[in-house]
Structure 1
Amino acid sequence: MNHPILTAPGHATTRRQWLGCTAALLAGTALPAAQAGPAQRLGAQLRIVIPANPGGGWDQTGRALGAALTSSGMVDKVVYENIGGKGGTLGLAEYTKRYGSDPGSLLIGGMVMVGALALNKASKDLQQVQALARLTSDYLVVAVPADSAIADPKSLAKAMRENLGALAIAGGSAGGVDHMYAGMLARVAKANPEQLQYKPFPGGNDVVKALLQKQVQVGISGYSEFRDALQAGKLRALGVSSRRALFGIASLRDQGVDAEMSNWRAVFTGKSLPAERSQQMLAAIEYAVAQDGWKQSLASNSWSPSWQTGKALHDFLEIETSTAQLMTYLLKLKS
């Protein structure tokens, strides 16, 4: 049974109504089929702009894509440029300004950027670039220090309900998927989301450090960013944001806290590129991610393949933008 947890004036909304369209679009997606022959090469050098600091999910995705493009012969060399800050919005602005018409550059982005733009009431900025392909989807892990008194999702919900303001929660950039999920957890716990003490960090490594140094009590990030600390016994996972257990971690939903959410990452290019060049870039990416090198990156980072292009991707981005705007409003997220 679906229980309304958030209500806007004249509008009752459930978690599954927010995410149902997104989940439907994500369901059943996979790697593109291997092409019969190599696509046209992109040239000697390609630039991949990563709108985040080194070490996080976008950085891992951008560098894995670059490695796939070089190993598949689509390009000789890839130059990486990290421009972190404000959920990818700084990198997006710089990319638009400097590389909007550059036929040799790509931009990594995803739900975090969509959320940050919604938080800053700047969603139209995403229209300054063109989406080529959605690459991966990921689920969020909620973790605490190994010696934390918070034992499971229900005790987390209890702590939130009793004194949300005393519980510092670390995650990625303000307005991003981690921030949204923290707000969702607060509402599921029947706490006041306006008291949410969310501490944004530029990357997953920073979230881990904040947890280990006891700067915060709870962290939210992708499994690949928490994996080493979890395996070393330094952190303890309370649950994962999927419907069922994943990575050997029970879902929060199966433990009595009904909050589901997924993340995704995509690749974009300049809005001013000729259609012929955009299609050439897309064909090269499609060929690269059908090869074994990319598949190994998916496995090693615990990413789910989530390939999508064309009108389906355009429609998906419109839904995600509307979802981010709605959740930013209903959860009263603040930058």
Structure 2
Amino acid sequence: MTDPIRKITGHALSRRQWLGYSSALLASSSLGMASAQTNPALRLGAQIRIVIPANPGGGWDQTGRALGTALTSSGMVDKVIYENIGGKGGTIGLAEYTQRYGSDPNSLMIGGMVMVGALALNKASADLQKVQALARLTSDYLVVAVPADSPISDPKSLAKAMRENLASVTVAGGSAGGVDHMYAGMLARLSKANAEQLQYKAFPGGNDVVQALLQKQVQVGISGYSEFRDALQSGKLRALGVSSRRTLFGIASMRDQGVDAEMSNWRAVFTGKNLPAARSQQMTAAIEFATNQASWKQSLSSNSWNASWQTGKSLQDFLEIETSTAQLMSYLLKLKT
């Protein structure tokens, strides 16, 4: 009979070790109650690197650092090194990661729908096959915001402004081709405007979108709620709506206000394509353990993220669908770099 722990650890355990490991699993079905000392097979080692293919301060950066904190606080690893490589929706970081860390058993990379969209826009979707996805971690919705004194009062007012003169409504968001860009194109199309005239200004992070709005460089901004939250709560920005089906964060959905535009974002963790299966499985198990701990759950709450755990074949199927969707939307919405 094949030892199931060999699949995770890459080596056999003694009977005593096996009994200890099994007892720890039975003590908590979620793995959240067990300590790292009672789950030695899950430990990733002394140090790992988390590559964040974005500038500091944005959603991927927050996700990567929250994951690192969860891994260290749960005892899965002693130390985490963070490496930010921003630019072009994560595609620069992806290229660097595959070149430098494709065979590194101690490295992880954060990614998500923004990267899938950027690759589709640049007709380079196959590049995602150069890494392997371990787990989808979170999902969240987009907020459409304007400066507090903007004449655009609600989603229908925005649709009217886009329909009458789309070129005069500059929209700020994340990287070109990403989920913010796709959502801007969707709003333009639903407004019955010529999507080719969409004026989209891409920024490396949500903080930059906020500043562009406050400095009146753009008329409309799209980003995650956690990145807009402080400016919204201080009254510097005003939310027009959220991209969910129903009211969220105390913000009415775009759909409920007459503009049927629903879209969600998601973030995942990847590793090198050339890692042995046993190490990839061990990484996934350690990440699952860490995301059942209090520090990760606190990160979900404080950043208004939804837990969205998915692994294995279902994750691969999901990525194929998302890639096809991004390719189709880039074509239909006539998105441009």
- TM-score (normalised: structure 2): 0.89
Q: Which residue of 1 aligns with 2:15?
A: none
What SS does structure 2 have at the residue aligned with 1:333?
coil
The reply on whether 1:33 has 2:27 as its aligned counterpart is no
Q: Which residue of 1 aligns with 2:199?
A: 197
Q: Which of 56, 59, 74 is the aligned partner of 2:58?
A: 56
Task: Summarize the alignment of residues 1-335 of structure 1 with structure 2, pairs less than 5 Å apart.
Answer: 33-34=30-31, 37=34, 38=39, 40-335=42-337
Say whether the 8 Å CA contact 2:155–2:257 is kept in structure 1. yes
Q: What's the CA shift string for 1:138-181, capped at 9, x where partnerless?
A: 10000000010000000000000000001110000000000000
Q: For 2:327 and 2:33, locate their aligned partners in 1 and report how far apart those are by CA, in whole Å.
A: 41
Q: What's the CA shift string for 1:222-276, capped at 9, x where partnerless?
A: 0000000000100000000000000000000000000000000000000000001
State the 1:40 CA deviation. Answer: 1.7
Q: For 1:239 and 1:35, locate their aligned partners in 2 and report how far apart those are by CA, in whole Å.
A: 36
Q: How many residues align?
A: 304
Q: For 1:107 and 1:324, locate their aligned partners in 2 and report how far apart those are by CA, in whole Å.
A: 21
State the 1:35 CA deviation. Answer: 5.6
Q: For 1:36 and 1:232, locate their aligned partners in 2 and report how far apart those are by CA, in whole Å.
A: 39
Q: For 2:89 and 2:186, locate their aligned partners in 1 and report how far apart those are by CA, in whole Å.
A: 19
Give the counterpart letter for 2:133 in structure 1. Answer: A
Structure of higher CA gyration radius: 2
Q: For 1:180 and 1:35, locate their aligned partners in 2 and report how far apart those are by CA, in whole Å.
A: 37
Say whether the 8 Å CA contact 2:32–2:293 is kept in structure 1. no
Say whether the 8 Å CA contact 2:136–2:309 is kept in structure 1. yes
Give the counterpart letter for 2:212 in structure 1. Answer: A
Q: For 1:136 and 1:40, locate their aligned partners in 2 and report how far apart those are by CA, in whole Å.
A: 22
Q: Which residue of 1 aligns with 2:14?
A: none
Say whether the 8 Å CA contact 2:170–2:219 is kept in structure 1. yes
Give the counterpart letter for 2:31 in structure 1. Answer: A
Q: What's the CA shift string for 1:41-72, capped at 9, x where partnerless?
A: 11111100000000000000000000000000
State the 1:34 CA deviation. Answer: 3.2
What SS does structure 2 have at the residue aligned with 1:245?
coil
Q: For 1:280 and 1:304, locate their aligned partners in 2 and report how far apart those are by CA, in whole Å.
A: 24
Moved more, 130-139 or 34-43: 34-43
Give 5+ residue unaligned stretches, structure 2.
1-28
Moved more, 37-46 or 174-183: 37-46
Q: What's the CA shift string for 1:8-64, capped at 9, x where partnerless?
A: xxxxxxxxxxxxxxxxxxxxxxxx933674352111111000000000000000000
Structural RMSD (CA): 0.9
Q: For 1:142 and 1:93, locate their aligned partners in 2 and report how far apart those are by CA, in whole Å.
A: 31
State the 1:292 CA deviation. Answer: 1.0
Give 5+ residue unaligned stretches, structure 1.
1-31
Give the counterpart letter for 1:83 in structure 2. Answer: I
Q: For 2:89 and 2:258, locate their aligned partners in 1 and report how far apart those are by CA, in whole Å.
A: 30
Q: For 2:31 and 2:155, locate their aligned partners in 1 and report how far apart those are by CA, in whole Å.
A: 41
Q: What's the CA shift string for 1:158-214, capped at 9, x where partnerless?
A: 000000001110000000000000000001110110000000000000000000000
Would you identify which runs of 4 or more consecutive aligned residues in structure 1 move more than 2 Å? Answer: 32-39
